[in-house]
Amino acid sequence: MATLIRLLGDFDLAEEAVQEAFVVAAERWPEHGVPGNPGAWIFTTARNRAIDRLRREKRLAEKRELLGRELELGEGEADMEEFPDDRLRLIFTCCHPALAPEARTALTLRSLGGLTTPEIARAFLVAEPAMAKRIVRAKRKIRDAKIPYVVPEAHELPARLSSVLAVLYLVFNEGYSASSGDSLVRRELCAEAIRLGGVLTALMPDEAEALGLLGLMLLQDSRRDARVDAGGEMVLLEEQNRALWDREQIQAGLQFCRRALVLAPAGRYALQAAIAAEHARAGEPAATDWARIAALYGALERTHPSPVVALNRAAAVAMAEGPDEGLELIEELVAGGRLDSYFPLHTARADLLRRAERRAEALQAYQSALALATNEVERGFVQRRLRELDG
């Protein structure tokens, strides 16, 4: 997709061509076998379908003039390893300053992460039709403004970095806690966000926030095998089997975290990486330094205030000082109303009510959470808690 967008200069044509290539693959591969390089086969087929469409619509000469000789890359199957990293180009194109901030992230999630419009709408807590219009407008803006499909020059990178980091983190978060479907973790999205984070830190090795984000993603992803049990049910952090945590990833994540904290005053991603590092260092739940984590969330809330950060701080305060102290902070968020439709708010509140032995209120809070759950694993977790309370 990323390479076709570069070659065609058209998001929609690239997407349609890839879809047609998958249809052809579904018809031919069962009969003739999977090719040695499936990705290259899909790309070549999609490229040829796109060229055929341009010929039929008599637009090929125009595209050749605009894009040069790159459009037709020669006969035969392409070698994908010969292409530069078009996914990184795609991120910077989608994060161009000419686009509105919310459009940058939405378009990248759609084009690079392959998320559907409903999934992106849920991630942004907006209506699906509004998100669809946002993505269409972003594509049109890129086309009409002739935004170049390039990685910016070195002097332009810092100004574009914040949007790129936000995109990578949202792609990772959708993989880490899928907003819908029957699986809690979409590993391919986590892996792609981490891979692109590695590309970005190689491009900008002294950028503290890029290092912090990569460290954060590695530390969080290290716990993926422990987050769901053998029966497919969600396992909370404090109940996870830490022997299943990926120690190699943890060491790499800690290294990036240390580099980020040394280079500059801690930014939002470096602070979150420091929080994840506290969890990673604890050999067992009781060894977790919750007071330190609450303090780090406090620092994050001062520099980058948001209701979600405030919710996380409340949960950490509850672990450090007791459920009543955490509940007091959460009730302030509930009264504010900004997280009414945010599933984790209701599960966190329900859990603290359960710990405080306020059973009737906990049941009601879990019911509110169940009404908001769109992921089947999350639904199963809440239903289990309801059964336990009923019992």
pLDDT (tens digit per residue) in 243-263: 999 999 999 999 999 999 998
Domain edges within the chain = 2-73, 88-146+160-227+243-277
| Distance of alpha carbon 243 from alpha carbon 352, whole angstroms | 27
How far apart CA 88 and CA 92 sit, in angstroms, is 7
Q: Are 149 and 5 in contact, with CB atoms under 8 Å apart?
A: yes
Residues 111-167: tens digit of each pLDDT: 877 778 887 887 666 889 999 999 999 999 988 888 887 778 877 777 778 888 988
Q: Is 228 helix (H, G, I), strand (E, B) or coil?
A: strand
- Find, among 190, 220, 5, the residue nearest to 94 by Cα: 5
pTM above 0.75, yes or no: no
Based on the number of CB atoms within 10 Å of its own CB, is 64 exposed (0-12), middle (13-18) or buried (19 or more)? middle
User: Which of the residues in the chain have pLDDT under 70?
Assistant: 59-84, 123-125, 178-186
Predicted pLDDT of residue 61: 63
Burial 18-55 (b: 16+ CB within 10 A, else e): bebbeeebeeeeeeeeebeeeebbbbbbbbbbbbebbe
Please list, in sequence order, all residues whose beta carbon lies within 8 angstroms of the beta carbon of residue 346, skipping any fewer than 6 positions away: 365, 366, 368, 369, 372
The whole-number pLDDT of residue 73 equals 47
User: 323 by DSSP, 3-state: which?
Assistant: helix
What's phi and psi for 375, nearest 5 deg? -100, 135
**Are 189 and 172 contacting, i.e. CB atoms less than 8 angstroms apart?**
yes
Q: d(Cα 364, Cα 180) in Å, to the nearest integer?
A: 23
